[in-house]
Structure 1
Amino acid sequence: MVVILDMSRNDLLIKIKQAEQTAESSLEGAEKERSEALRNAETKGHSVISDARNKAEIKASKDLDKAKKDISKKKDKLLKEGMTDIKKMQSQVSKKSEKAADNFVKMFLESVDA
């Protein structure tokens, strides 16, 4: 800072007052910039969070759909295998029932003939 020695006291006070006003104005401008930067950062933060939440929900939905499809495929496979097993058992039961009935009739006829 350049100080002029032959300035009057009044001129010096005016210069000091002007410097204070300039500093105050500069501080106000800096505070406005800081506030705006904070608002922008907060807005951007909300946007980032919202985007991340949306992406997570989309991924979760896709994962859930895939899991449902996998479960459905496994269920269908198990049902098909179960039906095949049931048909085999029904066939075996039918054959055994016929054989048991034949044996019963045969034993009955043998006991009547005896």
Structure 2
Amino acid sequence: MKGLPQISGSELEVMKILWELGHATSAQIVHRLTTTSEWKPKTIQTLITRLAAKGAIKAEKTETKAFLYSPLVGQSEYRAYAGKSFLQKVYDGSLNLMIASFIKEQKISQTEIDSLKKLLDEEL
């Protein structure tokens, strides 16, 4: 998993759009993000450029001279990497400590607890 590029929180918002749509032009990405954030179009363009430079997305020129962007990093691949990274950074790699912390600090419903038990039973 070391081969994945570091993706900032802001860049992740661009990635979420590309994961949802499969591919998009910068105009489509800008339109989506200017309606859901306070970011200016130039800021969003910078995020797109950074992601392309990092190898997280690819840019293909279209007939209209616009670029069509698509993800090179899969959403599930990124989630696995980010989860492992978070676990290591915050909980020294201890899944038990993380789960115990979440259970104590967050209000988990009985439905969520039952769902977690079922998941654990299926995996064991």
TM value normalised by structure 2: 0.16
* Greater C-alpha Rg: 1
TM-score (normalizing by structure 1): 0.18
| Structure with a larger share of its residues in strand | 2
Bigger relative CO (Cα 8 Å, ≥ 6 apart): 2
